[in-house]
């Protein structure tokens, strides 16, 4: 092997025995190099230091080496096995060029690591190098582990966000904490309860936690309790988008479902009474509800944009074909573009839904108001309006807001949100998709750790003077 010194082909302590054989392994043209491990004889037993050694046969192992052009090189290494006559233990010399735990050479492992470090996914890498993905993933885990070390934060974060994401199918959640300003993930673990936050506090340490100013989270999460009990100086800010989502789930969806159920019951009763006119009327009302979920939960602006793009699409089609007297080709059709109109139909057909929808719009505009007095006035009005309606769903929601009021008010002083986490969630989805699902959670968390550090962000948080007054 000496002629290959200083080339990637060089394998230290390998004595090549015969010419390389050409053959096909898994339908890929390959070279097979046969060699012996050039190793000194054992003089003493490494276990009991006894000196009666006995040669206990030879073994051969086939290691995958790098590729040259389209051919792959394999090395068949023969090594000696020894046995101690005193303690009867078997041992052998380590193959110096073998990657620990795998049947590949360390040169090939380095090649895989190089491909991974320039941003290729394990799947792409394994396809390119004709090697199984599991090993590539193992090496990837080792590589990121080397960079991440203990994964502890390297700098102080002032603002952090915490949220949960679905780890495995069937209500298995994980908690992720990120730095608001840079977007780097600080902590990832299985579970989404109080205990996981305590775990986080222990992980980052007292010094780090003392430097944190505020944390952004969802109102529903059980993380707030841990912060209030152990780190009361950290201001909790409830995320606005999650609040809107809570309103959609707790009020709009509930009301829509309840109303649909009510109408169905009434139709049934009308059928028993054989009141055909009433049945027709109720069925008309029911028709408005059909496919209304998207309309009710979407932002009005989104619907307007959707309608506008449909109108533009229709105009182009009309000018291209019908204006010239041509028929529309197969596969092309006009879009409906009646979202706003349909939304009005649903809302005007049902008073309760309309009230809740209007209050939802009010809630949104109050939430994103930056003026302190206007914010408080907006919510005060909202509370009184919700109370006058007398609807249970609204009552429940306004009670929840009251319970979380200090954290909602903190939005004014510290304008942070869980927005950056949405980006992280997208990254998480991408990682999962690229690897066709990752079963090893530790590896998954390492991948998240690496992905969030690839393009660090630089968000500025300007706190208002009220910050330390409350
Ligand atoms: Zn021994």
Q: Give the three-class secondary structure for 354.
A: helix
Kindly report the CATH number assigned to the domain that includes residue 436: 3.30.420.10
Helix 372-389 vs helix 405-413: angle between axes, to the nearest 10 degrees?
Answer: 150
Q: Are residues 220 and 264 in the same domain?
A: no
Lowest mean pLDDT among 148-152, 157-161, 168-172, 181-185: 168-172
The whole-number pLDDT of residue 4 equals 59
- What is the pLDDT confidence band of residue 467, given thresholds at 50, 70 and 90? very low
Measured in residues, the chain has a length of 470
The whole-number pLDDT of residue 470 equals 39
Q: What is the mean pLDDT of residues 217-225?
A: 86
- Compute, in angstroms, the gap from residue 81 CA to the centroid of ligand 1: 14
Q: Express each pLDDT in 403-452 by its tens digit.
A: 999 999 998 888 888 888 888 888 888 888 887 778 888 999 999 999 99
Lowest mean pLDDT among 86-90, 276-280, 326-330, 445-449: 326-330
Q: Give the three-class secondary structure for 42.
A: coil
- Compute, in angstroms, the gap from residue 44 CA to the centroid of ligand 1: 8
Distance in angstroms (rounded) separating the CA atoms of residues 296 and 89: 74
- Compute, in angstroms, the gap from residue 89 CA to the centroid of ligand 1: 6
- Compute, in angstroms, the gap from residue 93 CA to the centroid of ligand 1: 15
Burial class (CB in 10 A: 0-12, 13-18, 19+), 184: buried
- Compute, in angstroms, the gap from residue 469 CA to the centroid of ligand 1: 74
Q: Are residues 288 and 400 in the same domain?
A: yes
Q: What is the dihedral of CA 60, 65, 69, 71, to 10 degrees?
A: 30
**Does residue 426 belong to any structural domain of this protein?**
yes
Nearest to 310 by CA among 340, 344, 348: 340
- What is the pLDDT confidence band of residue 466, given thresholds at 50, 70 and 90? low
Concatenate the DSSP letters of all residues of 218-239 into one string: -TT-THHHHHHHH-TTSEEEE-
Nearest to 80 by CA among 40, 117, 107: 40
429 within 8 A of 278, measured Cβ to Cβ: no
Q: Are residues 196 and 254 in the same domain?
A: no
Q: Are residues 303 and 234 in the same domain?
A: no
Q: Express each pLDDT in 83-126 by its tens digit.
A: 999 999 998 888 999 999 999 999 999 999 999 999 888 889 99
Start-end of H helices in 78-121:
106-117
**Does residue 118 belong to any structural domain of this protein?**
no
| Structural domains of the chain, count | 3
Q: Are residues 265 and 224 in the same domain?
A: no
Distance in angstroms (rounded) separating the CA atoms of residues 26 and 446: 32
**Does residue 464 belong to any structural domain of this protein?**
yes
Q: Are residues 233 and 346 in the same domain?
A: no
Range of the domain at 93: 2-98
pLDDT at 267 over 80: yes
- Compute, in angstroms, the gap from residue 50 CA to the centroid of ligand 1: 5
- Compute, in angstroms, the gap from residue 91 CA to the centroid of ligand 1: 10
Portion of the chain with pLDDT greater than 70, in percent: 97
Q: Are residues 295 and 255 in the same domain?
A: yes
The rounded Cα 300 to chain-centroid distance in angstroms is 28
The whole-number pLDDT of residue 469 equals 42
**Does residue 151 belong to any structural domain of this protein?**
no
Q: Are residues 211 and 313 in the same domain?
A: no
State how far the alpha carbon of 268 is from the alpha carbons of 263, 265, 274, 275, 345, in Å: 9, 5, 10, 10, 23
The whole-number pLDDT of residue 154 equals 87
Give me the residues near ligand 1 (ion), CB cutoff below 5 Å.
45, 47-48, 50, 84, 86-87
Please provide the average confidence, as pLDDT, over all residues in the chain: 88
- What is the pLDDT confidence band of residue 468, given thresholds at 50, 70 and 90? very low
């Amino acid at each position: 092997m000496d002629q290959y010194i200083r080339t990637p082909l060089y394998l230290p302590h390998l004595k090549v025995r015969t010419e390389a054989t050409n053959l096909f392994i898994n339908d890929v043209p390959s070279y097979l190099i046969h060699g012996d491990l050039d190793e000194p004889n054992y003089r003493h037993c490494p276990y009991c230091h006894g000196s009666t050694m006995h040669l206990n046969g030879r073994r051969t192992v086939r290691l995958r080496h790098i590729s040259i052009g389209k051919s792959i090189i394999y090395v068949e290494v023969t090594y000696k096995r020894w046995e101690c006559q005193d303690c009867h233990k078997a041992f052998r010399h380590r193959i110096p060029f073998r990657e620990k735990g795998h049947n590949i050479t360390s040169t090939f492992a380095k090649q895989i690591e190089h491909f991974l470090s320039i941003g290729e996914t394990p799947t792409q890498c394994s396809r390119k190098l004709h090697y199984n993905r599991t090993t590539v993933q193992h090496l990837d885990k080792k590589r990121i582990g080397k960079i991440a070390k203990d994964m502890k934060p390297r700098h102080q974060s002032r603002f952090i966000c915490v949220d949960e994401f679905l780890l495995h199918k069937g209500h298995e959640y994980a908690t992720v904490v990120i730095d608001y300003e840079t977007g780097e993930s600080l902590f990832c673990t299985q579970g989404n309860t109080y205990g996981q936050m305590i775990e986080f506090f222990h992980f980052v340490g007292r010094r780090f936690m003392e430097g944190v100013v505020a944390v952004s989270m969802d109102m529903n999460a059980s993380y707030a309790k841990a912060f209030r009990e152990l780190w009361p100086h950290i201001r909790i800010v409830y995320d606005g988008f999650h609040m809107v989502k809570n309103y959609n789930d707790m009020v709009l969806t509930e009301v829509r479902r309840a109303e649909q159920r009510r109408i169905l019951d009434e139709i049934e009763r009308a059928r028993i009474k054989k009141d055909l006119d009433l049945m027709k009327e109720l069925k008309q009302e029911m028709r408005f509800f059909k496919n209304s979920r998207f309309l009710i939960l979407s932002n009005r602006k989104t619907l307007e944009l959707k309608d506008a793009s449909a109108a533009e699409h229709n105009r182009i089609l009309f000018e291209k074909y019908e204006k010239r007297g041509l028929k529309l080709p197969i596969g092309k059709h006009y879009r409906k573009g009646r979202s706003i109109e349909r939304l009005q139909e649903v809302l005007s057909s049902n008073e309760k839904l309309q009230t809740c929808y209007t209050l939802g719009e009010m809630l949104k505009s109050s939430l994103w108001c930056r003026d302190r007095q206007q914010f408080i006035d907006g919510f005060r009005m909202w509370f009184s309006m919700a109370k006058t309606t007398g609807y249970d769903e609204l009552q429940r929601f306004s009670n929840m807001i009251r319970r979380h009021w200090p954290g909602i008010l903190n939005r004014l002083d510290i304008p942070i949100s869980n927005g950056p986490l949405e980006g992280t969630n997208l990254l998480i989805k991408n990682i999962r998709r690229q690897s066709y699902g990752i079963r090893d959670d530790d590896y998954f968390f390492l991948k998240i750790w690496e992905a969030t550090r690839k393009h660090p962000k630089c968000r500025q948080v300007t706190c208002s003077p009220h910050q330390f007054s409350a």
